[in-house]
Amino acid sequence: MTAAAHLRTLLQPGEPIVRAPGAYDSLSARLIEQAGFPAIYMTGFGATASRLGLPDIGLLTQTEMTEHARNMVRATTAPIIADADTGYGGPSNIDRTVQEYIQAGVAAIHLEDQVAPKRCGQMTGIQLMGAVESERRLKAALSARGGSELIVIARTDALGATGREDAITRAKRYQDAGADLVFVDGIKTRADIEYVAENVPGPKVASLVDGTDAASLGAAELEQMGFSIVLYALTALFSAVTSARTTLALLHDEQIIPASPNGITYADYSKIIDLEFHQELDASFGA
């Protein structure tokens, strides 16, 4: 079964909401899978942070993003939902983007309706393509997947740019165009997510960002509202940055590695990265 087919089974009616924390690299993808989550979200915000140490403003190219996706697919078995930004150009670029992600082995991609330079959905200053152009670009992606099982998610960033009504109108338009799921991004409050739930029927995605009012929503609540997937896009990244910054500050000030009751050992880390498997390979086939 392909990763896309697996994710499709998880999205069948009656199945629990799919919880997918954001992975910023292959190691964090492994940790998400080992924690027991059914799917992994390859966040463009996290990819930009880990590869460039810069903000999510469209700085990574299509080849960088698809390489990032391939590495995550190699490192895990859980289906990966990948950020495909705006498709990286015109219809031919969108076609190539879809083909590259299919070859990378991801289960799903989402395409957004911003103009370049794109921005993280939580930022201000977002500008949108026209709804008709966005719909045509979505149809290009749906055509490009052909007979593959890749799941195509249509994301709109209208909530923060042009308001709730436009976000709902665009989400419904993308559903009518054939998107498998729709995703209204930029949600910060419970009121916003409740509005989306009440006004957008069918399969849809929620994204919760740490520190917002909406982040207090539980998966069970979102499932009752009719959401099929919930993305925790930045939780792992923010947790890693918090821990690293705290530890490095202590190391700088105290000039000794700080003790941590919750820290991992070299042996613990070796299990995470499956060192034993490679040692056994070397023992069996090495010089």
Q: Are residues 202 and 248 in the same domain?
A: no
Share of the chain above pLDDT 90, in %: 92
Same domain for 266 and 142? no
pLDDT (average), residues 24-44: 98
Q: What is the pLDDT of residue 118?
A: 79
Task: Label residue 2 by pLDDT band (50, 70, 90).
Answer: very high
Question: Among 192, 213, 234, where does a domain finish?
Answer: 234
* 267/161 same-domain check: no
**16 confidence band (pLDDT: 50, 70, 90):** very high
pLDDT at position 261, please?
81
Q: Specify whether 136 is located in the same domain as 187.
A: yes
- Pull the structure tokens for residue 66: 């698809």
- Domain boundaries, position 109: 3-234
Cite the active site residues: 120
pLDDT confidence tier of residue 192, bands split at 50, 70 and 90: very high
What's the CATH code of the domain at 98? 3.20.20.60
Same-domain check for residues 225 and 251: no
Residues 276 and 177 in one domain: no
Q: What does 24-64 look like in DSSP terms, one character per residue?
A: SSHHHHHHHHHTT-S-EEE-HHHHHHHHHSS-SSS-S-HHH
Burial 116-152 (b: 16+ CB within 10 A, else e): eebbbbbeeebebbebeebbebbbbbbebbeeebbbb
Confidence bin at 259 (pLDDT 50/70/90): confident
| Single-letter amino acid, residue 86 | T
Spatial neighbors of 87 by CB under 8 A, at least 6 apart, are 93, 94, 97, 111, 137, 140, 141
E-strand stretches of the chain: 18-23, 40-42, 80-83, 108-112, 151-156, 181-184, 204-207, 229-232
171-198 burial, b for 16+ CB within 10 Å, e for fewer? bebbbebebbbbbbbbbbeeebbebbbe
Q: Give me the amino acid identity at 259.
A: A
Residues 224, 191, single domain; the answer is yes
Q: Is a pLDDT exceeding 90 seen at residue 263?
A: no
Percent of the chain's residues with pLDDT above 70 = 99
Q: What is the pLDDT of residue 119?
A: 74
Answer yes or no: do 15 and 118 share one domain.
Answer: yes
Q: How far apart are CA 53 and CA 223, in angstroms?
A: 34
Confidence of residue 190 (pLDDT cuts 50, 70, 90): very high
Between strands 40-42 and 80-83, the pairing is parallel
Distance of alpha carbon 50 from the chain centroid: 14
229-237 mean pLDDT: 98
Find residue 128's DSSP bridge partners.
114
User: Mean pLDDT throughout 16-38?
Assistant: 98
d(CA 41, CA 46): 10
Per-residue pLDDT, averaged over 238-252, amounts to 96
The arithmetic mean of pLDDT across residues 260-271, rounded, is 89
In whole angstroms, give the CA distance from residue 171 to residue 131: 10
- Using pLDDT thresholds of 50, 70 and 90, give the confidence band for residue 125: confident
Whose structure tokens read 């590259």? 100
Residues 130 and 248 in one domain: no
* Distance in angstroms (rounded) separating the CA atoms of residues 61 and 58: 8
Please state which of the ranges 41-50, 101-110, 250-259 shows the lowest mean pLDDT: 250-259
pTM: 0.95
Q: List, as own/partner pairs, every contact residues 59-62 make where C-beta atoms lie below 8 angstroms and the sequence separation is at least 24, other chains included.
A: 60/85, 61/88, 62/88, 62/89, 62/93, 62/96, 62/97, 62/100
pLDDT of residue 260: 81
Question: Average pLDDT for residues 244-259, to the nearest whole number?
Answer: 93
What is the pLDDT averaged over residues 207-215?
Answer: 96
Q: What confidence tens digit (pLDDT) does each residue in 141-159 have?
A: 999 999 999 999 999 999 9
For residues 250 and 227, membership in a common domain is answered with no
Residues 51, 145 share a domain: yes
78 phi and psi, to 5 degrees? -70, 145
In which band, very low, low, confident or very high, does the pLDDT at 208 lie, cut at 50, 70 and 90? very high
Average the pLDDT over 235-264 and give the result.
Answer: 93
pLDDT at 155: 97
CA–CA distance, 213 with 220 (Å, rounded to integer): 17
Pairwise CA distance, residues 162 & 285, whole Å: 61
Tally of domains in the chain:
2
Residues 128 and 198 in one domain: yes
Q: Report pLDDT digits (tens) over 92-107.
A: 999 999 999 999 999 9
What is the distance between the alpha carbons of residues 38 and 77, in angstroms, rounded to a whole number?
10
